[in-house]
A and B are shown apart, each in its own frame.
Chain A
Amino acid sequence: MCTDNPGVWEYIANWARKHSIWVLAYGTGCGAIELPPTMTSRYDAERFGLRGAATPRQADLLIISGYLATKSLKRVIRTYEQMYDPKYVMALGSCTINGGMYWDSYNTIKKLDLYIPVDVYVAGCMPRPEAIIQGIISLQKRIEEGKAEGAKKYRENIEWYKKNQREVLGDDFLPDYTWNFEGGI
């Protein structure tokens, strides 16, 4: 139901989405430890309308916190495909940008953008909670401008994403029903 000509409803909806981001913090790496301080009393991300979501079905934002092992990638993709459009991805740390200190590792991925569409990268090793909040604010700007259309991008380039995922995962690939159910991804 993606509208090509966003009207006033879409504008209001984007305002609401911007101020109500529910986070699914997928603790893959070191960044998981940065999220509790972000949510609790020192940095209090709830001011911006952030809230933890217990399940992918209720989440809007998937935070990939740090390095991603190929084993985890499978679960991340599956989680991402279970989320409902509009959905956003935030990647923390250098590991998700270019491999970081795991450049030579045999079982981590180097560039997250090849496997799922990323909206915001937060650089650092590890980024402090201030940096995460900065990333959230830039994500809010993207949502307001209507640029945060990761789900649409994933749908349109599904063959390319699946090809990249298959290269990494090999025979251990996901079954088709994770993304190929009626109504698209």
Chain B
Amino acid sequence: MGMKILNIVAYPFIAFIVGMLYMGIARNIIGRIHRRWGPPVFQNLIDVFKLYRKREAGSHGVMFHLGPIIMVTGIVSCLYFVPLLNNGVWLKGFSFEGDLILVTYLMVLGSLGMALGVGQGGVPFGVMGVTRGLTRLIGLEIPYFIAIIVLMAHYNTASINKIMELQAGGITHWGMFKLPLAFIASLFSFWGMMGASPFDIPGAPQEVASGPATEFGGKYLALMMTSRGIFGFLKLTLWVDLFMGGAATILILIGKTFLLFLTVLFVSAVYSRFKVEQAVDFMWRYPTLIGLIALVIEMVR
């Protein structure tokens, strides 16, 4: 009983710390690419702590308070349905038949809560950022959904745990080698969801002063940064579970997620930002086409 409770409590904390460290490592590596030293790897943890200890935070009403809270709640509740490890009792999360569909829906909840909060802030930049973010979502969800459908059809299940079990037994059984086209299609989507550079249109500091986060400062911004760290780790873990055979131990999980994270990082370090319509255009062309080919192959097989 005590172990179960510890399991549940440890979940978001592990995700938060690892996600924040990844963001710090990303800043450091991008610094090295720019031929700078870059900040220390725990810089983002310091930033979040500082923001929590700000003495003021202006509010614009009830929804402005609730926006970041809905964001954190949605993301943490989504996290509980994504198993971190694939065997034993530790960090398995809640699992049942069909939780992949549930996770897919819960992933959007954070952004929607955020949008509600921004709406009461009344900053034009924030509203523009939300609009851009939702437009981008239309683009990048299509290839992701197609890839998920291919995956479900191939493994004949909608449970993340079962998909992980079916991928056991060596590297050749992984989803990324069994269904390479679906993996490639979903990878584009994944880069977009991680806010990597060709697709970082919602919070563009040069265009819409940090987008949805414009009016949020102090503890609200800290909550948003927290949820961003957790969400980053959640998405990495989900992709590792679906396409890379899951992980037996924490170390293997960190190794695999970090490899996946490096792909995001190297793409974002060299590409500049798309326009909104360019991003949607791109997403509906190449990744969707690759995904549809994968779907046809899966139907023929």
Stretch touching chain A among B47-55, B81-89, B164-172, B194-202:
B47-55
- B210 at the A interface (CB under 8 A): yes
Given A55-B215, A58-B213, A84-B55; 4 other pairs, CB 8 A cutoff: A16-B49, A46-B37, A51-B47, A55-B209
Bound-state Cα–Cα, A20 to B46, Å: 7
Q: What is the CB-to-nearest-CB distance from B206 to chain A, in angstroms, rounded to a whole number?
A: 9
Residue of B49, B53, B55, B210 near A58 (CB, 8 A) is B210
Interface residues of B (CB under 8 A from A): 27, 31, 34-40, 43, 46-47, 49-50, 53-58, 125, 205, 209-210, 213-218, 221
Report A13-47 CB contacts with B as 1/0, cut-off 8 Å. 10011011010000000000000000011001011
Bound-state Cα–Cα, A54 to B31, Å: 19
Q: Which of A56-100 contact B (CB under 8 A)?
A: 57-58, 60, 84-86
Return chain B residues, CB-CB under 8 Å to A183. 56, 58
User: CB distance B34 to A41 under 8 Å?
Assistant: yes
Interface residues of A (CB under 8 A from B): 1-2, 9, 12-13, 16-17, 19-20, 22, 40-41, 44, 46-47, 49, 51-55, 57-58, 60, 84-86, 151, 181, 183
Majority SS of interface residues in chain A?
A: loop
Q: What is the CB-to-nearest-CB distance from B25 to chain A, in angstroms, rounded to a whole number?
A: 14
Bound-state Cα–Cα, A6 to B7, Å: 36
Q: 8 shortest A-B CB distances, which residue pairs?
A: A57-B217, A54-B210, A13-B53, A84-B56, A44-B36, A54-B209, A16-B50, A54-B205
Known contacts A41-B36, A47-B39; is-contact A17 B53 (Cβ 8 Å):
yes
Q: What is the CB-to-nearest-CB distance from B191 to chain A, in angstroms, rounded to a whole number?
A: 23
Return chain B residues, CB-CB under 8 Å to A54. 205, 209-210, 214
Return chain B residues, CB-CB under 8 Å to A44. 31, 36-38
Most buried by B among A19, A60, A86: A19
Return chain B residues, CB-CB under 8 Å to A84. 54-58, 217-218
Most buried by B among A60, A84, A85, A183: A84
Bound-state Cα–Cα, A19 to B47, Å: 8
Bound-state Cα–Cα, A2 to B55, Å: 7
User: CB distance A47 to B38 under 8 Å?
Assistant: yes
Return chain B residues, CB-CB under 8 Å to A40. 34, 36
Q: What is the CB-to-nearest-CB distance from A126 to chain B, in angstroms, rounded to a whole number?
A: 22
User: CB distance B55 to A55 under 8 Å?
Assistant: no
Most buried by A among B27, B38, B54, B216: B54
Bound-state Cα–Cα, A55 to B38, Å: 22
Q: What is the CB-to-nearest-CB distance from A21 to chain B, in angstroms, rounded to a whole number?
A: 9
Bound-state Cα–Cα, A175 to B15, Å: 46
Q: What is the CB-to-nearest-CB distance from A8 to chain B, in angstroms, rounded to a whole number?
A: 13
Bound-state Cα–Cα, A86 to B39, Å: 22
Known contacts A17-B53, A52-B205; is-contact A57 B46 (Cβ 8 Å):
no
User: CB distance B53 to A16 under 8 Å?
Assistant: yes
User: CB distance A46 to B57 under 8 Å?
Assistant: no
Q: What is the CB-to-nearest-CB distance from B157 to chain A, in angstroms, rounded to a whole number?
A: 44
Q: Which residue of A lies closest to B47 (CB)?
A: A20
Bound-state Cα–Cα, A13 to B31, Å: 26
User: CB distance A17 to B50 under 8 Å?
Assistant: yes
